[in-house]
Amino acid sequence: MTAYDYIVVGAGSAGAIIAARLAEDPGLSVLLLEAGPRDTSPLFHIPAAMRYAYNAPRYNWNYETEPEPFMNRRRLVQPRGKVLGGSSSINGQLYLRGHPLDYEGWADAGAKGWSYAEVLPYFKRLETRVDNGSEYKGSEGAIRASVAELGPLEHAFIKAGEQAGYRLTDDVNGSQQDGFGHFPKNVAEGRRSSTAKCYLRNAPKNLHIITGAHARRVLIEDRRATGIEYEHRGGAVTATARREVVLSGGAFNSPMLLMQSGIGPAAHLRALGITVLHHLPGVGENLMDHPLTSIQAACTQPVTLYKHLNLLSQAKGTLDWLLTRKGLLANNHFDAVSFIRSKAGVKFPNLQIALFAIAVAEGSADFVQEHAFQLQISNQRPLSRGYVRLSAADPHAKPLIRFNMLEHPQDLEELVAGFHLGRELLQQPALTAFTGRELSPGADVQNDEQIAAWLRETCHSSYHPCGTCKMGIDDLAVVDPECRVRGIDGLRVADASVMPVIPSANLNCPTMMIGEKAADMIAGKAPLPPSNLPYFVDPAWETAQR
């Protein structure tokens, strides 16, 4: 049995940061456990290789939902990173903070210390923006982020937004999220900026990283976490924590590990034969995600990525990347994005519409075999809530996951509105120069009822699960605003599972921010001084949609 000051379970978007920050004190010993392997494959570092990384079973937990009752009982795949860096090593590298009012909402709901003024300094601390500077951006952080040069379609998309009467924004992560602009990404110098690469590559000697370590349970004595039991190389291992155990397994694995340890809804645990050590009814509840759909259109000009779907172009792209870290493979190819409101009376953007300069066939990972592009539309603040539960006491058993996606009528209403607004963009002069026939859903899907039916049949997950160990002060809160598990000493959860409400953003950047902020809390450091920077809210939001 080996003892450490801190044990962090999960070397993902938050956990890698927490472990690295704690280990900055040379007087502390830190154990970081990761179930997956090290990120040695080039797939983890080539931005355009993301679809291969998250489709590789070795590096993925390969979860899927139960049949979703409001989506024609379809099962939704849920790729989750099982590798050093977690999902930051396999995701789309889309680097969004969310709207300032997201975090004001967190604080107002009881997450004291998590207002926009209090989280902005941590967003800045984690990053170096290599494109251009501003007081809203970081310049000394580990994660290197940028925007790409726009191609013809991306320029047309942003111009179409302006023609439709929307604002333009210089930086969706700055003072004004509202409008059309560049899509930030945690890519720089042609490489993915994962937490493994940026925080763990030169780990100090007092940070002990063990890969291939599958956590079985948190050890609890007298309502205090004392260590972790895990599997490694076919055997059971116990490690003890002199100070704290921190769970950073993500929105599925963190609540699962709590429940496997006897912490969670008592009736559910007893039904599986698990001894209840602490009844905590909110564990696994409050599961959220952004529903995602797309409109696909043929492109009348040969400017899409389809022209690169040939061996010669891909071979050249590979050679360019190997020699110069530039070219086709040096970008994730999500370069333009917008945040808009679905209707008047919505205070801040509840829809994200992004352009992807190629089309992916419905129900498939294959690309449409012609020049085509798609507008990806997602509802940013869904009201539907789901759960994650254990299917068995066996720590290797897959979880039971249900989002209940589109259960709340407002979620479907907003997505239908987004669909109409997306079609309106395609009719603007800037995009009509490129837009041919609509490939999906096609001309037969027109009215709200038809669109809603199509969404239930085809809408899918954004792969943004969160909220299952939510932070707060109500009866279903699992952790307090310091990320401490309620009722158990020496145990914290710090990852996307603690988000009380899903932010208006892809979740990797907010999860990394949680890692930075939680690290200071765990170390007992004073929080960074709050920011006094202002942010934009449309003064006409009550009466105008744009």
Which residue numbers are catalytic? Answer: 464
DSSP 403: -
Q: Peptide bond preceding 441: is omega within 30 degrees of 0, i.e. cis?
A: yes
Helix axes 508-523 and 15-22, enclosed angle (nearest 10) = 30
What CA–CA distance (Å, rounded) separates 268 from 251? 18
Task: Tell me the DSSP string of 163-222.
Answer: HTTPPB-S-TTTT--SEEEE--BSEETTEE--HIIIIITT--TTEEEEESEEEEEEEEET
Beta bridge partners of 513: none
- Joined together, the tokens standing for residue 177 give 């999220």
CA dihedral 106, 481, 207, 16 (to 10 degrees): -20
- Number of Cβ within 10 Å of residue 5's Cβ equals 17
What CA–CA distance (Å, rounded) separates 93 from 242? 36
Among candidates 23, 30, 42, which has minimal Cα distance to 2? 30
Contact 440, 296 (CB under 8 A): yes
Contact 350, 381 (CB under 8 A): yes
Q: Would you call 333 helix, strand, or coil by DSSP?
A: coil
Among candidates 362, 333, 459, 354, which has minimal Cα distance to 406? 459
Among candidates 303, 328, 298, which has minimal Cα distance to 315? 328
What CA–CA distance (Å, rounded) separates 477 from 469? 7
Among candidates 358, 386, 214, 373, which has minimal Cα distance to 284? 386
Q: How far is CA 479 from CA 35, 86, 236, 464, 497, in A?
A: 24, 22, 28, 20, 10
DSSP 344: T
Contact 194, 465 (CB under 8 A): no
What CA–CA distance (Å, rounded) separates 435 from 429? 10
What CA–CA distance (Å, rounded) separates 464 from 2? 35
- Number of Cβ within 10 Å of residue 231's Cβ equals 16
Task: Tell me the DSSP string of 43-105.
Answer: GGT-GGGHHHHHT-GGGB--EEPSPBTTTTTB--EE--B-STTGGGGTS--B-----HHHHHH
